[in-house]
Structures are given as C-alpha cells and as structure tokens.
Chains A and B, each alone.
Chain A
C-alpha cells in the first residue's frame, strides 16, 4: 500500500516545484528584459525572493501558529527546493509541516503585503507611545 507516501511524494516532488516555477514564470517572463537584453529580474533578485520565502518559515512559532519551524527547517527547505541539493531529503512529517504552512508563506511573496500601510502605522505607534 503506497498511496499515502505517493501523495506526499506528489506534493514534494511536483506540487511545490510547480509553485516555485509559477513565481519564476511571472518574474522571468521572456519579454521582460532591459536594454542590454538581460532579464529585468536578475538572478540575485530572484534569489532574494526565495530567501524571503525561506526566512518566512522561521516566523512560524507555536504561540501563534500551534507549530514551530526552526531555522534548520528553513535552511532545509532552501537546500531541497531552491538549491536542489541531491542529498537533501524531507521526511514525511516535515513534508506535512510544509503542507500546513506553505499557503501562508507564499501569500504576497512578490507583492506588497496586505494592510502593509496599516501595519507600518501600528508598528510605528508602538515606538511613539
């Protein structure tokens, strides 16, 4: 009986890479080039997007999310899905954690965050008061 592991495999091997590919497709659209013919979103800028995505995992803490993801988890995600390190593997339990958190991590990854202006106001008011 392999359906359970097959599904986690589908998620890790195909769905997550397809999600990352969808973002890459938007940012590296072939016609988005500068006057020198180089991509408007450079490799470094694209790398910064993935770095931000990985860093967001570190913000998942049990107080607010009922689970905590460590810095190691964040590095592991980056190694596996961004750098594609051959020896990087994710256990089923870690994959389930990814399934639970990824919908929240990709939200507004490449666009301004929801209520950002309001958030700035609130944060600043804490400093002022």
Chain B
C-alpha cells in the first residue's frame, strides 16, 4: 500500500509539473533577489472566465435558434444578447489586441437578432450558404 500511495503522489507531482500555471508560479516563487521574476504577481488560470463566456455564447445561440419562440420570451432573449456582449467585454477585454475590441458591426449585430426574428421569422428556416448570398 505504501508504494502505491508513493507512486500516486509522484505521478500527481509529475502531471502537475507540466501545467503551465503551476510551473510559472513555481518559478516566480523560487526566484531569488535580483532575478527578473523576483516579486512578480503570480499568474492565474483564466478558465473560469473563458468557460463563462463560452457557455453564454452557447446558451444564446440555442435560445435564438428555437423554433416557435413566443412573443413573451423576446424581451428575455434580447436581454441575453445584451448580457453576452457585456460578458465578452468583461471577460475577454483585450479581444485579440485590436483597438476597437468588441465595438464593431459583427459583434453589435447580436443586439439586432430579436428584431430580425420579429421581422423575418426563425433563423432555422433560412439558409445563408453561398448559393443564397
């Protein structure tokens, strides 16, 4: 049993060692005075924020593609679009480093989705593949 626990501990340590956040923070922690890394703030895994954004994307996409959306559900759907844009700005503020960040037509267009459903019906009834463009 002893060797079993020992192997598990070693395996866990080895596996943890390959993960970037752990190894960067370890390097910062072990940096001696005079080193470039000495005293730097640790890094943290952005997974929670990223997953929050992606789930909101998925949720909004599924909600807007339902067939037969009731009129009473449209305000909630619009709010979801507003929330999605907000969370994009909050959790991925740098986007990919551009100046405009999330302030461009394509991102803004999600706010018009409800209006387009009202005007043209559900998106699943349409195709935007090349032949229709």
- The residue in chain B whose Cβ has the minimal distance to the Cβ of A41 is B20
Chain B binding surface SS class? helix
Task: State whether the Cβ of B35 lies closer than 8 Å to any Cβ in chain A.
Answer: yes
Cα of A40 to Cα of B23 in the assembled complex, Å: 10
Q: Please state if A18 and B95 are interface contacts (CB–CB under 8 Å).
A: yes
Any chain A CB within 8 A of the CB of B67? no
Complex contact B106–A32 (CB within 8 A): no
What per-residue 1/0 map shows which CB atoms of B56-91 lie under 8 Å from chain A? 011001001100000000000000000000001001
Q: Which of B35, B54, B57, B96 contacts A17 (CB 8 A)?
A: B96
Give the dominant DSSP class at A's interface: helix
Count how many chain B residues have C-beta atoms less than 8 Å from C-beta atoms of the other chain: 52
Q: Given A5-B128, A29-B43, check contact A111 B95 (CB 8 Å).
A: no
Residues in chain A near residue B35, CB distance under 8 A = 35
Find out whether the CB atom of B95 lies under 8 angstroms from the CB atom of A14: yes
- B20/A27 in contact, CB under 8 A: yes
Considering the complex, which residues of chain A in the window 97-128 have a beta carbon less than 8 Å from any beta carbon of chain B? 99-100, 102-103, 106-112, 116-117, 120-121, 124, 128
Minimum CB–CB distance from B88 to chain A (whole Å) comes to: 7
Total A-B residue pairs with C-beta atoms closer than 8 Å?
144
Residues of A within 8 A of B128 (CB): 1-2, 4-5
Contact with A along B33-62 (1 / 0, CB 8 A): 001110010011111011101110110010
Q: Which residues from chain A contact B43 at a C-beta distance below 8 Å? A: 26-27, 29, 32
A45 within 8 A of B: yes
In the complex, which residues 80-104 of chain A have their Cβ closer than 8 Å to any Cβ of chain B? Answer: 92, 96, 99-100, 102-103
For A14, the chain B residues whose CB sits under 8 A away are 95-96, 106-107
**Which residues of B pack against A, CB within 8 Å?**
4, 7-8, 11-12, 15-16, 19-22, 24, 27, 35-37, 40, 43-47, 49-51, 53-55, 57-58, 61, 64-65, 88, 91-92, 94-97, 106-107, 109-110, 112-113, 116, 120, 123, 126, 128-129
Identify 12 new A-B residue pairs, CB closer than 8 A, beyond the known A7-B109, A32-B24.
Answer: A3-B112, A4-B128, A6-B109, A7-B110, A15-B57, A18-B95, A19-B54, A35-B36, A99-B61, A117-B12, A124-B11, A128-B4
